Amino acid sequence: MNIQFNRIPEFSLIACYGPETQEISSIVYNSQEVADGSAFFCVSGENTDGHLYIEEAIQRGATAIIGTDRQILETYAKAHHMLTFAVVEDSRTALAYASAQFYNKVQDQFIKIGVTGTNGKTTTATYVYHLFNLLGIPCGFLGTTGIWNSAGKIEYKKSTPTTPMSSDIHNIFSQLDAFGDQAASMEVSSIALDQKRVEGILFDVAIHTNISEEHMEYHKVFEHYLQCKLQLFSQAKNAVINFDDKGMAQEILDVVNYPLLTYSRYPESGADLVWANCKSQKDGLVFDLLYKGQSYPIHVPLYGEYNAANLTAAIGAALLAGASIDKIVQVLPKMPQVEGRFQVIKGPEDRKIILDYAHTPVALDLVLKEVRKLPHNRLIALIAGVGIRDFGKMPKMGRIAEGKADVLVVTVDHPGFHNPEDIINEVLKGLSVPYKQKVRTAPSRREGVIEALKESGPNDIILLSSGNINGAQIVKGESIPHSDEEVIEGFFMQQN
């Protein structure tokens, strides 16, 4: 595509050396992905600075370099007269708007649903994805479990975070459009909002699930975390707000001046959507959905009573997108389970293995309470410290789980560059001594899953909490493939 860098809206161009117009083949921020004709954006991260890779980008064939360091860009421009060197106020902002331009603003053709919150983002965004597809609105998904079009999961970068970088988002939108999808449901993390990954995207619906302390290794203080989350609601046309969340609901209501729906579990709350009288049954959840003075009996093949709230949020998004409540209620019994979110796997001798990504104290507490409601003999729970997250949270995970299972298996997820034993010891600090239940430890997730399965017997529940990022464990900067389901299958095959 022929791009005029001085014509891109919101690009915030300060100076341009060399041709103002270039034929661009791709938009990249990773120098290793540069090819002939690429525009390379010098993005600064926590560990490195993109300006350090300009020479590599040029050698690989980049025809445009965009960054914030005027002196460096001017120096390179003197040696490469045929290349474009653009100085901008913010590389991440420039990347977002240039990417939208490069992909012909394909985002404008989509119904875009953005979901933010500490817990429930993945589940709610996936419920939106499934619900829209069931309603006949072909929908894609971008989130923790990967990238999906309306037909299923598609291959994309293994290292893609919860919310991809802006250039990846617009590339994915382009792929979804080519496939014929008409909507996109995506998780929008606080870090993504702070790093301008969704800059320039106007969401048709923004969904709020809840807020509690998380990502303090990045945000440092809770107020910054909250303000980042709130940013999503300044980029939306409609909102769905959890009335029961005391941490953030009122703050959103104070700034929103467009159509919205609130949801709650309490009929007396006055919320627009209420999920009431929720009960867990062997084949799923039953509850009453209250909307506009009517009560709709709901029976869905989903588990975990808190997921009635996540489903109600998705229903709110569908209503704001124009779907009728009658059609929504009609398709709900067909809702699939969410990968790794209270996902129930049946094992031999009436064992139930439950995979749930609960990786915060609040989420772990909720899932332990829900699991204990299911009929079982013993409960074996795997809990993990996440090495790439806030170490201060690890003892809280142990404290929350204490006394709520017959056996605790303490392991580590994504140790990063940390010693796994150090992470495990941090989790163990949250447990009383002597232990209130049997405790086992394992230095890797794979070994932890096997240890939990070894401890199980007939009619036991094995809860495997925390989990993977895109089917991998992050170890010393590398993404090591891992699948709980494959470990489970292999374990029981060996037992036979």
Band (pLDDT 50/70/90 cuts) for residue 258 is very high
Every domain range in the chain assigned CATH 3.40.1390.10: 2-91
For the cut 60, the answer to whether the pLDDT of residue 158 exceeds it is no
85-115: burial string, b at 16+ Cβ within 10 Å, e else: bbbbeebbbbbbbbbbbbbeebbeebbbbbb
- For residue 45, what are the CA distances in angstroms to 30, 50, 92, 159? 11, 8, 10, 15
223-251: burial string, b at 16+ Cβ within 10 Å, e else: eebeebbbbbbebbebbbbbbebebbbeb
- pLDDT, position 469: 62
For the chain, how far is it from start to end, CA to CA, in angstroms?
58
Nearest to 372 by CA among 399, 337, 339, 401: 401
- Cis bond leading into 301, ω under 30°? no
For the cut 80, the answer to whether the pLDDT of residue 159 exceeds it is no
- pLDDT, position 393: 83
- pLDDT, position 209: 95
Average pLDDT over residues 61-66: 98
Q: Is 468 buried (19+), middle (13-18) or exposed (0-12) by CB count in 10 A?
A: buried
Band (pLDDT 50/70/90 cuts) for residue 156 is confident
The answer for residues whose C-beta is within 8 angstroms of residue 173's C-beta and 6 or more apart is 103, 106, 107, 110, 184
Every domain range in the chain assigned CATH 3.90.190.20: 343-495
146 vs 488: CA distance, rounded Å: 21
- pLDDT, position 213: 60
Give pLDDT tens digits for 418-456: 999 999 999 999 999 999 999 999 999 999 999 999 999
- pLDDT, position 409: 97
Q: Which two structure tokens, joined as six digits, stand for 489? A: 């299958």
Higher pLDDT, 276 or 2: 276
443 vs 387: CA distance, rounded Å: 12
Band (pLDDT 50/70/90 cuts) for residue 219 is confident
33 vs 458: CA distance, rounded Å: 51
Band (pLDDT 50/70/90 cuts) for residue 82 is very high
Lowest mean pLDDT among 14-28, 348-362, 428-442: 348-362
Band (pLDDT 50/70/90 cuts) for residue 389 is confident
Higher pLDDT, 486 or 341: 486
Q: Please tell us whether the domain made up of 106-334 is placed in CATH 3.40.1190.10.
A: yes
Arithmetic mean of pLDDT over the chain: 93
Average pLDDT over residues 346-351: 94
| Protein fold of 343-495 | Protein-Tyrosine Phosphatase; Chain A (3.90.190)
Average pLDDT over residues 471-479: 84
Give pLDDT tens digits for 220-255: 787 888 888 999 999 999 999 999 999 899 999 999
What pTM did the predictor assign? 0.85
Helices vs strands, H then E, count in the chain? 16, 26
CB under 8 A, 24+ apart: contacts of 427-434: 427/383, 427/384, 427/385, 427/394, 427/395, 427/397, 427/398, 428/398, 429/394, 429/395, 429/398, 430/394, 430/395, 430/396, 430/397, 430/398, 430/399, 430/400, 430/402, 431/398, 431/399, 431/402, 432/402
284-291 and 13-17 strand pairing: unpaired
Higher pLDDT, 417 or 289: 289
For the cut 60, the answer to whether the pLDDT of residue 270 exceeds it is yes
Every domain range in the chain assigned CATH 3.40.1190.10: 106-334
Superfamily of domain 2-91: MurE/MurF, N-terminal domain (3.40.1390.10)
Give pLDDT tens digits for 175-196: 999 999 999 999 999 989 999 9
- pLDDT, position 476: 87
